Amino acid sequence: MFGYMGKLICRAPAAILALFLALTVLGGMYSLDVMRRLTLAPGLEVPGSGSAEVLQRNRERLGMDTTLVLLLFSPRGNAAIQVDDPDYRSAAEAVLAGVAVSPDVRSAHGYYSSNDRHFVSRNGRETYAVLELARGRDEGVGALERLRPLLCSPLLKVELGGELPTYVDTREQLEKDLHKAEIISFVSLAVLLVWVFGSLVAALLPLIVSAVTVILSLAMLKALTPFMEISVYSANVATMLGLGLAVDYGLYMLSRFREELSRHDGADSSLCATLVTAGRTIMYSGFTVALSLACLFLLPQRFFQNMGLAGAISVGMAMLASIILLPALLVLLGRRVNRCTLPWLERVTQRRESGEGWYRFSHFVMRHARLVLAATLTLLALLGLPALHLKVGLADYRSLPEGAESRRVIEAMQTEFPLTGLDPIVVVAQTGKAVRETDSIAAIDALTRAISALPGAKRVVGLTTLDAKLTTSDYQMLYANAEQFPIAAQALEAHARGDHSKLYVFYDATAQSEQARHLVRQIRALPTPPGMVAFHVGGLPAFHLDYLASLRDGVPRTIAAIVVVIFVLLFLMLGSLFVPFKVVLTNLLSLSATYGVLVLIFQDGYLAGLLGFTPPGSLEGTVLVLIFASAFGLSIDYEVFLLSRVKEACVATGGDNLHAVSIGVQRSGPIITNAAMLIAIVLGAFALGEVVLIKQMGLGLLVAVIVDATIVRMLLVPASLRLMGRFNWWAPKPLLAIYERLNLGEASSQPTGKTP
């Protein structure tokens, strides 16, 4: 297959180059506004859960598709005025009056409309109002943008907070971080690639592959937005993985081509040999990484499926650009690929590419295999120890930089105001008849009283909480004649539609606390009252409970699928049962070390000041899953680069295990080191971003790559290969027959390289 592909590319390299150029230009123009086409809602809801059911019924049955936005008022400058001062009141009411007439605002209430002191800060200088904005198909972004120009006051500063402003601020920050990371990555990669290859022409090629990969990946994401919702985080993940893998694959392909040029007379034969060996390995690695990320579709949340899709797209584009576009460029350049060599780097590059030091190093490792194995396992275990007290949480306002407006509002709400009850537990009840019927009111009142009696429930608001003196029969009479009682009509408008009614449950704890989640469990355990079909419990505490439960149920299944995929594909490439088993174990050890480092940094707060973030006290559950899938796949790159050369040398030397491992390390060591260094630059650029979720992922993958390319690949793997001896390549005969029939391993274009 790859030999035939090489011949086709050699026949029409200019046409292939023109095709990719046209696709890249069109894709670049098409994807300019990709961030605006991606949805702000993360998509972490668990389909079928109580919290997801409440969201759906709130929108579809109750017709209350709104989002809450906070307006925080504070004096400009050092003005010494209080919220009760006439000038303060006049300024705030003027802003609210202008806002209230907007068709996007369903309701607005605050201190001046309710005289509720909960709306006044402890120091008396700040107050807030709560607006209900129409959400619509764009999650309310349009409404928010139309609202901003109305928030002007010469006396007061008006800031926006809440879920929607936080999403908008996050998107804007992600867009800034993405551009910054791309600039830092490309500039740094350009410098390092010149150092790696010693040639300006050779250094340019992986950058071309990277640029094409990123542009086409973002264009593909935008092309899918009319058919499905895709999170704004997808663009950063696609760019991060696309850049990293494009550099990895481009480096590997280009290094092998330069190696083959020294053995063949022309560029055509060199390219065919390169595709048969390195091209096959890159395709295998790409499929492995893509399938690992595709396992995220086993999780129910759209967020994970979006990340799996974005990762698979970027991996696929990196693979195609590396085995089609890059070979076309190599055919056109031929030996000119080494042009513009810097004399002072040429000798260093030749000595580094020869791998003589790696050959001697591998012999040292294998002579002391038991000691090296024990030392590396001990080091990985020590690095992984902090992961034993890992806490899983959810991203909150602290994911944004301290200067973000929405973060300032939430911090002010937490420090200057008493518990505001902005995140109540929401109960949606479906009665057997219209809510105005006597049986329905009796059922709603029974549920309300049962919830009110639970420890931890501070206050319940619903149809039957208008007055504590009213009995069930009073409420039945009131709602049966709602047209005659304005208070009843208003309550029905606010809490009910058809046969659905809504209750708000307030509590004396934070929304993400165990106390709030325990209250959710207690409410869900209540029996359904007679006259009620069912009730569902939602709101932020219920969402947290359902989210953590879905991780407990779905993550083990996803991890098992990734492990099976890696094991099967490694067997199909290497024809061994023991090596894939060892790879899975070493990868798990490497990931435990990565998680241990993340716990120290993000949970315990070490280096928080240096890296510029506020420690959240836990690790984001989504990040842990994404790092596992991505790092497990990325580590296979280096495993494949090393083991494919070891296998190739083993076949060429007739099964000489010691010599094969040495040759494999000699040939792949420089490539793995350089690839790890280059991808570390990309991941480090994303780790410098301001959004903590992307910072966690970038830094986590950075640690995983460094640990994998140094401790694992260069120490643990050679030592274990030496100790396993002839069992490295053992497999039962029926499985060997399958392996030989499929022939997915890397072919040998030549016998091994020379032994120093």
Convert the pLDDT of each residue in 209-249 to its tens digit.
999 999 999 999 999 999 998 988 898 889 888 888 888 88
Q: Which amino acid is at 623?
A: V
pLDDT at 397 over 50: yes
Q: What is the pLDDT of residues 443-456, one digit of tens each?
A: 999 999 999 999 98
Fold topology of 424-538: Alpha-Beta Plaits (3.30.70)
What percent of the chain is modeled with pLDDT above 90? 30
Q: How far apart are CA 330 and CA 452, in angstroms?
A: 74
CB 92 within 8 A of CB 76: no
Dihedral sign for Cα atoms in the order 70, 75, 80, 81: negative
pLDDT above 80 for 581? yes
User: CATH number of the domain at 61-167, please?
Assistant: 3.30.70
List C-alpha distances in Å: 586 to 186, 352, 567, 645, 683: 32, 27, 12, 19, 22
Reported as a single tens digit per residue, the pLDDT across 678-732 is: 888 888 888 888 888 888 888 998 998 888 888 887 888 888 888 887 777 777 8
- Every domain of the chain with CATH number 1.20.1640.10 lies at 1-30+199-340, 361-386+554-745
Half-sphere exposure of 360 (CA within 13 A, CB side): 4
* Structure confidence by residue, pLDDT tens digits, 601-627: 999 988 888 888 888 888 888 888 888
Amino acid at 73: F
CA distance 26 to 14: 18
In this prediction, residue 138 has a pLDDT band, given cuts at 50, 70 and 90, of low
623 and 696 in contact (C-beta within 8 Å)? Answer: yes
Three-state DSSP state, 427: strand
Alpha carbons within 13 A on the beta-carbon side of 469: 0
If pLDDT is split at 50, 70 and 90, which confidence band does 749 have? very low
Separation of alpha carbons 73 and 91, rounded Å = 10
Spatial distance between the Cα atoms of 232 and 170, rounded to a whole number of angstroms: 9
* Residue 752, both tokens: 């091994």
Examine the pLDDT at 137 and tell me if it is beyond 70. Answer: no
What is the domain class of 361-386+554-745 according to CATH? mainly alpha
| Rounded CA separation 392/617 (Å) | 9
Task: Note the pLDDT tens digit of each residue in 240-251.
Answer: 888 888 888 888
Q: What is the pLDDT of residues 147-179, one digit of tens each?
A: 888 888 889 999 998 888 888 888 888 888 888
Q: How confident is the model at residue 411, as a pLDDT?
A: 86
Strand order in the sheet with 66-75: 105-110, 127-134, 66-75, 156-161
Count of CA atoms in the C-beta half-sphere (13 A) of 69:
33
Which residues partner with 639 through β-bridges? none
Q: What's the pLDDT at 351? A: 58
CATH 3.30.70 in the chain, residues? 61-167, 424-538
pLDDT for the residue 452 = 94
Is 407 in contact with 397 (CB distance < 8 Å)? yes
Output the CA–CA distances (angstroms, integers) from residue 248 to 124, 282, 636, in the order listed: 58, 9, 12
**Mean pLDDT value across the chain:** 85
What is the model's pLDDT at position 753?
Answer: 40
How many CB atoms sit inside 10 A of residue 264's CB?
A: 16
Query: Residue 96 CA to chain centroid, in angstroms?
Result: 38
Calculated CA dihedral for residues 451, 452, 453, 456, nearest 10 degrees: 90
Contact 216, 24 (CB under 8 A): yes
Q: How far apart are CA 48 and CA 46, in angstroms?
A: 6
Give the phi and the psi of residue 84 in degrees, each rounded to 5. -90, -5
- The pLDDT tens digits of the residues spanning 733-748 come to 887 777 777 665 544 4
Q: Which residues contact 592 (CB under 8 A, 6 or more apart)?
A: 380, 383, 384, 387
Quick one: fold of 1-30+199-340? Answer: Multidrug efflux transporter AcrB transmembrane fold (1.20.1640)
At residue 352, does pLDDT exceed 60?
no
Model confidence at 353, in pLDDT bands (50, 70, 90)?
low
pLDDT at 284 over 90: no
Is the pLDDT higher at 578 or at 323?
323
Separation between Cα atoms, residue 413 and residue 70, nearest integer Å: 10
